[in-house]
Chains A and B, each alone.
Chain A
Amino acid sequence: MLVHSIFFYFFSVIAIFSSLMVITSRNTVNSVFFLILDFISVGCLFIMVGAEFLGMIILIVYVGAVAVLFLFVVMMLNVAEQKQSWFIGKKSTHIPTGLIVSVLILLELLVVVGGWKYKDNVMSSSTLELSNISNTHQLGLVMYTDYILYFQLAGIILLLSMIGAILLTFRQRKGVKKQSYFNQISRNPSSSIELKEAEINKGVKIDD
């Protein structure tokens, strides 16, 4: 157990340190890098308690995709240096909003952790009784039987938000020339080359 707890404290210290650095670092890109470090160490903690599937999914989804897009946006927006300090700023609107959000999150966490004590039929799934099956199988067995409705609802919400995001950024631009591979390949000299007689001082009108 000694080695186990050494690893546990190693990862949790890194997780806490990096999450502190996320909110205190002046350079926004550095914040995102610390966020990535935080995700990775939380993923490692998941793996340490035996939830290897969840740990890997955190690595793939959060670190491999979400954080890349964060980094992408932060780099593109060129907000690397926070000129105006949040802490001594005179009329900063960040702190009240941030306080409200964090108090809400704290309350939610308290409700969840407190409510866990009064749970009765959360774990009553009939499929979970086989204890010697692997983590991933277990998750699948519960997710696609008892919680299929919530699973599908979550999927539909994700689909809707994806369609919404596409719709928000979609705009039809006029005059954009698009390449059609089929037309391009099926062209031949007899249909695409035309000889024209150019009159002096008049020229030839070429359609676009």
Chain B
Amino acid sequence: MFEYIQILGQEIYKILFVLVPILVSVAMIVWLDRRVWGLVQKRKGPNVVGPFGLLQTLADALKYIFKEIIIPASANKAVFVLAPIVTMTLALVAWAVIPMSEEFVLADINVGVLYLFAVSSLGVYGIIMGGWASNSKYPFLGAIRSAAQMVSYEVSIGIIIINVLLCVGSLNLKEIVLAQKDLWYVIPLFPMFVIFFISALAETNRPPFDLPEAEAELVAGYQTEYSGMMYAMFWLGEYANILLMCAMGSILFLGGWLPIIDLYPINLIPAPIWMIIKILFLFFLFALIKAIVPRYRYDQLMRLGWKIFLPFSLFYLVLTASFLFYFDKLPKGNF
């Protein structure tokens, strides 16, 4: 029995070693997001608290902690409280399988990609639960919108993942990265990378697809009734999800922790640093898109997802499969 407790302790230590940096980097990433947004619009962005305004998010979080949590009288209390917890838990739980380097991964499971896909598709529940439990019109509309939106874009993300899997022949995230040693998949699968990026924007409810919280129409969408710490949890979960999508993109297409070229001075940089650089690069694109693209109308969003992305990614799937088949490059499988 004592043995198990020891193992448990070690595991908790490892989990904290992953979780704490993620939470801190989420805070930093919020700052980066607002800063890029500001600089694109020729404003300064947050620059007061701490050096370059880096501590702005911590100040915000402190403010949220000390605010009162208000639960509407006619809300379904259990679900209302559960919703932000679900969002944040799901966003953090997915990081268990993300490999930062060849050794540095919490859970190296066989079906890593499926796990990531499953957890990111569960993310919609936090939003639906929050919207429904608020018992109010705007949150409900936001929740309904996001349910349809996230389910639609998941389909094309699934097919894009199949594209990558065809080239790798394994569902393990480590294998996927190692298969890109010679060529990052962003080059042969470039159209898929673009579609993945746009679908990731839709999946995380980022502008230009932030219809679930479109402030011009729905006040703040599913978050309208939330306040204080519960709002902050939604917010943290959202940004952790965005980071997760960036990590997924860099693993599937940008070669994960692999250096850009395997030459002497460049491959001295440790692997996790490369991973972080790639995640940050993708996040920078996310932030830029937020600043420069206007919001889509709802029917345009659905049209883009079902009538353009889905057929095109199916077509590209057939193309990849036939290319691999005719040139005899199909992965033989390592069993």
Residues of A within 8 A of B (CB): 2-3, 29-30, 33, 36, 52-53, 56-57, 59-60, 63-65, 68-69, 71-72, 75-76, 130, 132-137
CA distance A71 to B76 in the complex (A): 15
Contact of A56 among B118, B147, B158 (CB under 8 A): B118
Which chain B residues numbered 94 to 151 have a C-beta less than 8 Å away from chain A?
A: 109-111, 114-115, 117-118, 121-122, 124-125, 128-129, 132, 140, 143-144, 147-148, 151
Closest to A133 in B: B335
Q: Chain A contacts of B118 at CB under 8 A?
A: 56, 59-60, 63-64
Q: How far is the CB of A45 from chain B (nearest CB, A)?
A: 15
Residues of B within 8 A of A (CB): 1, 4, 76, 79, 109-111, 114-115, 117-118, 121-122, 124-125, 128-129, 132, 140, 143-144, 147-148, 151, 154, 158, 171, 333, 335
Q: Chain B contacts of A76 at CB under 8 A?
A: 144
**Residue in B4, B79, B140, B171 with the greatest tally of chain A CB atoms within 10 Å:** B171
Q: How far is the CB of B171 from chain A (nearest CB, A)?
A: 6
Contact B335 A64 (CB under 8 A): no
CA distance A2 to B4 in the complex (A): 10
Contact B111 A137 (CB under 8 A): no
Contact B79 A33 (CB under 8 A): yes
Q: Chain A contacts of B148 at CB under 8 A?
A: 72
20 A-B pairs with CB atoms under 8 Å apart are A33-B129, A52-B109, A53-B114, A56-B118, A57-B114, A63-B121, A64-B122, A64-B124, A65-B151, A68-B147, A68-B151, A71-B132, A72-B144, A72-B147, A72-B148, A75-B132, A75-B144, A130-B335, A133-B335, A134-B110
CA distance A184 to B206 in the complex (A): 26
CA distance A76 to B115 in the complex (A): 30
Known: A68-B128, A137-B333. A60 touches B144 (CB 8 A): no
Q: Chain B contacts of A71 at CB under 8 A?
A: 128, 132, 147
Task: Label chain A's interface by main secondary structure.
Answer: helix
The 8 closest A-B pairs by CB, nearest first: A64-B121, A133-B335, A56-B114, A59-B118, A60-B118, A52-B111, A56-B111, A134-B110
Contact of B111 among A53, A64, A65, A69 (CB under 8 A): A53
Contact A60 B114 (CB under 8 A): yes
Task: Label chain B's interface by main secondary structure.
Answer: helix
Closest to A55 in B: B111
CA distance A69 to B144 in the complex (A): 10
Known: A68-B151, A72-B144, A72-B147. A136 touches B121 (CB 8 A): no
Closest to B8 in A: A3
Closest to B119 in A: A59
Since A2-B4, A65-B154, A72-B128 are in contact, a sample of 4 more A-B pairs with Cβ atoms closer than 8 Å, ordered by chain A residue number, is A52-B111, A65-B121, A65-B151, A133-B333
Closest to A57 in B: B114
Q: Chain B contacts of A60 at CB under 8 A?
A: 114, 117-118, 121, 158
Q: Chain B contacts of A135 at CB under 8 A?
A: 110-111
CA distance A177 to B153 in the complex (A): 26
Contact B122 A63 (CB under 8 A): yes
CA distance A64 to B155 in the complex (A): 11
Contact B147 A59 (CB under 8 A): no
Q: Chain A contacts of B143 at CB under 8 A?
A: 75
Q: How far is the CB of A129 from chain B (nearest CB, A)?
A: 12
Contact of A132 among B1, B147, B335 (CB under 8 A): B335
Closest to A64 in B: B121
Closest to A132 in B: B335
CA distance A130 to B335 in the complex (A): 9
CA distance A33 to B133 in the complex (A): 12
**Residue in B118, B125, B128, B144 with the greatest tally of chain A CB atoms within 10 Å:** B118
Q: How far is the CB of A36 from chain B (nearest CB, A)?
A: 7
Contact A36 B335 (CB under 8 A): no
CA distance A136 to B148 in the complex (A): 30
Closest to B121 in A: A64
CA distance A137 to B122 in the complex (A): 25
CA distance A72 to B145 in the complex (A): 10
CA distance A30 to B132 in the complex (A): 11
Q: How far is the CB of A113 from chain B (nearest CB, A)?
A: 28
**Residue in A36, A60, A71, A76 with the greatest tally of chain B CB atoms within 10 Å:** A60
Q: Chain B contacts of A64 at CB under 8 A?
A: 118, 121-122, 124, 151, 154
Q: Chain B contacts of A69 at CB under 8 A?
A: 151
**Residue in B4, B111, B171, B335 with the greatest tally of chain A CB atoms within 10 Å:** B111
Q: Chain B contacts of A59 at CB under 8 A?
A: 118, 121-122
